[in-house]
Amino acid sequence: MIELSPEPPIGKRPHPPVRRLDPIIRERSTTICPDRWTVFAFDLEGRPVSWFERDRVFKRSLASAVYGRERVGGRRKYWRLSDDDAAQAFDRILRAVARLPLDQLDEQGVERIERILSWTPERLAAERDRFDAAYRPISILPPDQYLAVVLQATFGCSWNRCTFCSFYQDRPFRTRSERDFREHCHDVGELLGRGAALRKRIFLADGNSLTLSNRRLLPIFESAREAFPGRGLYGFVDVFTGEKKSLDEWSELLGAGLKRVHVGIETGDDRLLGWLNKPGSADDALDFVGTLKRAGLRVSAILMVGVGGERFSSDHVRRSLELTARLPLDEGDVVYLSPFLEHEGSAYARRSREEGLRALDADEIESQYVELRDGIRRANPRIRVTRYDIREFVY
């Protein structure tokens, strides 16, 4: 979910619900509650970021795509609004803001409201073109990075042959030049404007960006922090590419501003890793996470839930719990449990069909999630264990 520490979270219902005819002015955002069950949140450019209407949550991406979420029958339902529905939502928000009594607000409140009202549904829709000028498609982020400044140091994934992943199948892996990256930082800064204040981290995309040599990464780090000062750096890396760096190299990146490494471990079952065509082993993951921790970095270890279906379920759970119990994680580290979504047309789907692999149903995936979550927490109460639902991703 979206976090605005130390401010109250955007995208979470105030409790109890309140009615505020005046805007709630925060250092990095503006919040308006026109009635008991409606909350609108805006960045400092005045663009809507997220809002609640009754029991539905909506999030707007930087490209002005709008995604909805609600709970139906105890489960979350996700959808994307059509362009027409998104325009109607923007119009509804702006009409609500226009009803605020400006003559009762202080100078800062009036300035925030006027900035919000400078946007129209048409102008918000046109943000898509500005986004496309600054970015190539951003396929996925870790949950704690949805409100990061995303900078694309690389495109695609350096391995890109895992059967379960289709995020980067449409693009070859390549690295930006230093000059291109600096221009990219400028373009992203222009797109975010004052809204960058809401984004307190820098995430280096795409997949496996941290696999680059330190000789190439260190100038990238320097340019990123120069463009967006006061922020730490974060990024993805796989075990089998990340372990190629030495302890000294990871320590060097810590000194250059790297804070957390997000590691796609997926499972502690070596047999399942092989079936997924992902190099490495549980022992490799143990060694690599140990290196990161000795370097002083925080770690987010990502495990999938339900991957491998019924055939691998028992060994996946047992060996993943064995592995996470051995990982040298401590307070400040995270284990993300990501419910697996099979993508039609993927290598995983084809192999499952050919071999008659039975996928777990929603109840079975939820049961596996609870078993993994509770088992990891019992083994190491100091670390945070939480859900990583890729359907929540919005940037």
- Pair (245, 180) in one structural domain: yes
- Pair (143, 210) in one structural domain: yes
Residue 144: exposed, middle, or buried by beta-carbon count in 10 A (0-12, 13-18, 19+)? buried
The pLDDT of residue 14 is above 80 = no
Kindly state whether residue 41 falls inside one of the protein's structural domains: yes
The pLDDT of residue 16 is above 70 = no
pLDDT band at 164 (very low <50, low <70, confident <90, very high): confident
The pLDDT of residue 329 is above 60 = yes
Question: Looking at 68, 103, 127, which one is the last position of a domain?
Answer: 127
- Pair (107, 169) in one structural domain: no
Kindly state whether residue 9 falls inside one of the protein's structural domains: no
pLDDT at 20 (0 to 100):
54
Q: In what order do the strands lie in the sheet with 56-60?
A: 20-25, 30-35, 38-42, 48-53, 56-60, 66-72, 75-80
Question: Looking at 75, 103, 127, which one is the last position of a domain?
Answer: 127
pLDDT at 162 (0 to 100):
83
Kindly state whether residue 15 falls inside one of the protein's structural domains: no
Residue 77 phi/psi, 5° resolution? Answer: -115, 135
Mean pLDDT of 71-93: 95
Name the more confident of 167 and 395.
395
pLDDT at 21 (0 to 100):
58
The pLDDT of residue 13 is above 70 = no
Residue 355: exposed, middle, or buried by beta-carbon count in 10 A (0-12, 13-18, 19+)? exposed
Predicted TM-score (pTM) of this structure: 0.91
Kindly state whether residue 12 falls inside one of the protein's structural domains: no
Q: How far apart are CA 291 and CA 284, in angstroms?
A: 11
Reported as a single tens digit per residue, the pLDDT across 187-237 is 999 999 999 999 999 999 998 899 999 999 999 999 999 999 999 999 999
- Pair (64, 194) in one structural domain: no
- Pair (235, 361) in one structural domain: yes
- Pair (107, 157) in one structural domain: no
- Pair (170, 78) in one structural domain: no
- Sequence-ordered list of residues with C-beta below 8 angstroms from that of 111, at least 6 positions apart, any chain: none
pLDDT band at 130 (very low <50, low <70, confident <90, very high): very high
- Pair (245, 107) in one structural domain: no
Name the domain count of the chain: 2
- Pair (78, 161) in one structural domain: no
Q: What is the average pLDDT score of the chain?
A: 92
Question: Looking at 109, 127, 145, which one is the last position of a domain?
Answer: 127
Kindly state whether residue 2 falls inside one of the protein's structural domains: no
Kindly state whether residue 222 falls inside one of the protein's structural domains: yes
- Pair (203, 244) in one structural domain: yes
Residue 38: exposed, middle, or buried by beta-carbon count in 10 A (0-12, 13-18, 19+)? middle
- Pair (123, 140) in one structural domain: no
Kindly state whether residue 261 falls inside one of the protein's structural domains: yes
Reported as a single tens digit per residue, the pLDDT across 247-298 is 999 999 999 999 999 999 999 999 999 999 999 999 999 999 999 999 999 9
- Pair (141, 68) in one structural domain: no
Provide the CATH number for the domain around residue 375: 3.20.20.70
- Report the residue count for the chain: 395
Among 71-75, 123-127, 188-192, 218-222, the least confident range: 71-75
Count, in order, helices (H) and strands (E) of the chain.
Answer: 13, 16
Q: How far apart are CA 210 and CA 213, in angstroms?
A: 8
Domain that holds residue 237: 135-392
pLDDT at 9 (0 to 100):
44
